[in-house]
Chain A
């Protein structure tokens, strides 16, 4: 029996190590020439920054853009950031506490869902600044928010979509009916109707960020019911809806990250979030000592939204989109979203 016990402990050790390996924070390898923090430059200690992500960095969506932000900050500002992936709701507070305890200077949390935890833990660690991506509010003195006005992205996608439907019926898929996602789909619909009031948009929520099969089946259902263009704001689920569009020979609009290459000929263009830009702005503010405990929201006017074109879009359409973007920049278009509607 002795050898069996030994085997048990070996098993447990292997499993624990394997699972921990998946969630341990990974420091981005700094440029080889750069000295280790504090090693050769004791005078000016490198800031300790960490990025907390709700999902995996290779989701080709929300979390991937944050990872790009990390790389952008490293490249443009020479500041190295660590990151932790797939942090679950139940671990938000303990993760914040962990980094507060370790004396980190700046903690990014990638999504509004982190706000309550930041609000609860922030005051306990006054030397750490908690920056919640997409939060529209902050808490004095050290919890701030910075975000993209996502509805502005949905609006441009809707305008483009409306010029590319012949059946006048389109499908819009969202992950969860959070205000920001609902707002994106509503803006998509409002923009489409502004182009052509005869257009009908079917809005559906799949209650998942990663169920790619559900994304595909939902899009298939929409297409079979007459939609000839699909739009999806739900991370990996979007890959499923694009696949459905490809299978059925209809069009799709890429969203959040550049998705033109996912299915050339199907994805007519992508409206992309320059989420990396948010991180650059925030880290620059941090370096300048200008971080404020408020919610900051950025849109087309701040260069955090962009369009990745394909040849499938005519110059005429491009011109219309440019006008729409200008109108959004000038604040001529109101957010159509009505909370609780």
Chain B
């Protein structure tokens, strides 16, 4: 017990929490734009997986992790475009379409990975992001190690929080997005192209989720393995709700998931005698508790999940 709760433990815990929360944060911010405009994007998981795969492919063929991340975003946008076509234009049920996207992504990534690299005994490795210590800041005690010795994608993820907030609440685009999600008919009346706004928001969610996937394959590792997202996209969907559809809330939600997961791992390895089943359950338990009590009443965008036809 005594080696828990000392400074080194806390620093290590928070660094791990940050790493675990970043993929969720990327995807959840994307999901937020989509949901704010009225489209539930449950396909985040599949888009992340595609991003993770495309990131590795991009980095493999260009030799640059940055181009890899760009390819990941483009692949996310491509898959999101398909999703937007199905849900916004053709107006099929959004949940069903989202599930289809997830299933499609598992098959596509696995298939193309083998088509490109064959059945390998050792993983194909590519150039990936390495931690960047911010000069000056990274030497700060405690926070320096936690916050300022991470990969570039981590900084980008956290920068996206105020950027998203600004877009959503301080620009006319943001106003359009929110209006379309709350009252599409009213938006239409004042000349906002409802379905175009929704399509753009879905594409944005694809770009961000794709980047979230690339964070796993290029920011945490330098390889792709089948199904490497392992449910983080679904956690992101929960984080959007938990975060009450705003960037600040989503940041907090993602961090809570990250801390819970990091704590779970560390308590288990510390061997403190709590049954590991309980510890594995811990992040989800926390979610349930938070959803029922702490976050208060959650109010979803009114037109969420409803397709808009004139």
Contacts and interface: CB of A to CB of B under 8 A. Distances in A.
A212 B86 contact: no
A27 to B, nearest CB: 15
A206 to B, nearest CB: 8
A259 interface: yes
A211 B262 contact: no
B228 A210 contact: yes
A205 B221 contact: no
Interface string B259-279: 001100110111100001000
Contact of A225 (B3, B114, B227): B3
25 contacts: A7-B90, A8-B90, A18-B104, A19-B100, A22-B110, A55-B226, A58-B120, A64-B121, A202-B269, A204-B265, A205-B276, A210-B225, A212-B221, A212-B225, A213-B20, A213-B228, A214-B230, A214-B261, A218-B268, A218-B269, A221-B265, A225-B266, A239-B221, A243-B221, A262-B123
Contacts of B8: 224
Given A15-B100, A213-B230, A239-B221, 15 more contacts: A8-B90, A11-B85, A19-B107, A22-B106, A56-B110, A56-B227, A58-B114, A58-B119, A204-B269, A205-B268, A208-B230, A216-B221, A217-B261, A221-B16, A259-B122
Interface in A1-50: 4, 7-8, 11, 15, 18-19, 21-23
Contact of A217 (B23, B225, B265, B276): B265
A225 B5 CA distance: 12
A204 B276 contact: yes
A139 interface: no
Nearest to A220: B16
Contact of B121 (A210, A220, A258): A258
Contacts of B266: 221, 225
Interface residues of B, number: 47
B283 to A, nearest CB: 11
For chain A, the bracket of interface size reads 35 or more
B269 A222 contact: yes
Interface of B: 3, 8-9, 12, 16, 19-20, 23, 85-86, 90, 92, 100, 103-104, 106-108, 110-111, 113-114, 119-123, 216, 220-221, 223, 225-228, 230-231, 261-262, 265-266, 268-271, 276, 280
A87 interface: no
A57 B230 contact: no
Nearest to A63: B226
A279 to B, nearest CB: 16
B111 A21 contact: yes
Contacts of A128: none
Contacts of B12: 220-221, 224
